[in-house]
Amino acid sequence: MNSVILQPAGNGDAKQHYIDTITNPVKLSRMARYLEDEQVERLKELYPDQLIPTWGVTPGKTNGNIKKWNRIQTGDITLFSGNGGIFSSAVSTYKLHNKELALELWGTDANGQTWEYVYFLDEVKQHSIMYIEFNKAVGYKENFIIQGFSILDQEKSIRVSEEFDLQSDTHYPEIPFEEYKKVIKEFDPDRPLDAKGKAMVRTEQSFLRKSLFGGKSVENCGICGNTYPVNLLVAAHIKKRAKCSNDEKLDFENIVMPMCKLGCDDLYEKGYITVQNGRILLNTKKIVTPVLTNYIETLVNKECTYWNESSKPYFEWHSKFHI
């Protein structure tokens, strides 16, 4: 589950850094010479325009910030605060420890430390959330003021992300298979979705999306073959999720494929199209309209690259279910 990070940036160095490297994202070309090739490649994948909102923290007194920075995961949300409230949020994508890079971007503070625990951000959004609203959502006292870099615990993070709708639909945390397995076994679809249930859904989605998209920001739809930003793609179950056994759900390499929200996901889910022997077919049992027929004709006979001997039984289940 993603955490919420609090970062005051209303005055002093932090205010200046916000202008220098968030309002004005840093060009990858300026940072590249301080980075390893692999890190440059990763950033190119994440930021096709190579303009990167960048933040960093100092080790802090008695190295207190390092421990917190170690906990930052992809998809965590940083809230920047100052002047009576939270003025923006951003989603973390990637992090690295690099003193030279920090010196280049920000120099040093009054204690001679630099902001070498670097993390990169995306989806920077403006907000005007007053402290009083924020405190109410977290469960803090009315007059609480955010002081210093800190990370909210799981329960508070969930409350804040829900209240202000902060979750990213592009950047998800890395979920170990064991944790995915635990969620699959423990999730009860008949229970109403409380905060814990929602966190479980997010964990399952994070795992499946990571396995399909890696860390990429664009990917191809498995039906139409078109390339889309990943927030327009779903990790769709080839066999209806609700009908899958736990073992089938755990067969994550074969049970899901990317489908676009521009039509393919619904057309497949509702059975207007099926995949047989690796080719997309129109389901003639369904009522269609001329405009829909025209659309589906552009898909018919296309090859579905996710069809193989291992995924075949799931596609066959889908065809039988709908025809």
> Nearest approach, Cβ of 42 to Zn ion (angstroms)?
27
- The residue (of 68 and 322) whose beta carbon lies closer to Zn ion is 322
Nearer to Zn ion, 102 or 223 (CB): 223
Pick the closer one to Zn ion by CB: 77 or 221. 221
Q: How far is the CB of 63 from Zn ion (least distance, A)?
A: 49
Percent helix / strand / coil, the chain, rounded to 5: 40, 25, 35
* Cα–Cα nearest to 270, from 256, 258, 282: 282
Compute the residue count for the chain: 323
- Minimum gap (Å) between residue 6 Cβ and Zn ion: 39
Nearer to Zn ion, 113 or 217 (CB): 217
Residues at the interface with Zn ion (CB under 5 A)? 221, 223-224, 260, 264
Query: At closest approach, how far in Å is the CB of 260 from Zn ion?
Result: 3
**232: exposed, middle or buried (C-beta count within 10 Å: 0-12, 13-18, 19+)?**
middle
Q: How far apart are CA 35 and CA 47, in angstroms?
A: 15
Kindly state the smallest distance separating residue 226's Cβ from Zn ion, in Å: 6
User: By C-beta, is 121 or 264 nearer to Zn ion?
Assistant: 264
Distances (CA, A) of 242 to 70, 73, 99, 255: 37, 30, 49, 12
In the structure encoding, which two tokens stand for residue 184, read together? Answer: 């699959």
- Cα–Cα distances (Å) from 291 to 46, 202, 298, in that order, read 36, 35, 11
User: Other CB atoms closer than 10 Å to residue 88's CB: what's the count?
Assistant: 22
* Cβ proximity to Zn ion, 5 vs 264, nearer residue: 264
- Nearest to residue 317, comparing CAs of 218, 237, 246? 237
C-beta of 225: minimal distance to Zn ion in Å? 7
Nearest-10 crossing angle of helices 195-213, 154-164: 80
Q: Which is nearer to Zn ion, 22 or 299 (CB)?
A: 299
Beta strands in 148-254 (DSSP E): 150-151, 218-220, 227-229, 233-237
Least distance from Zn ion to the Cβ atom of residue 267, Å: 8
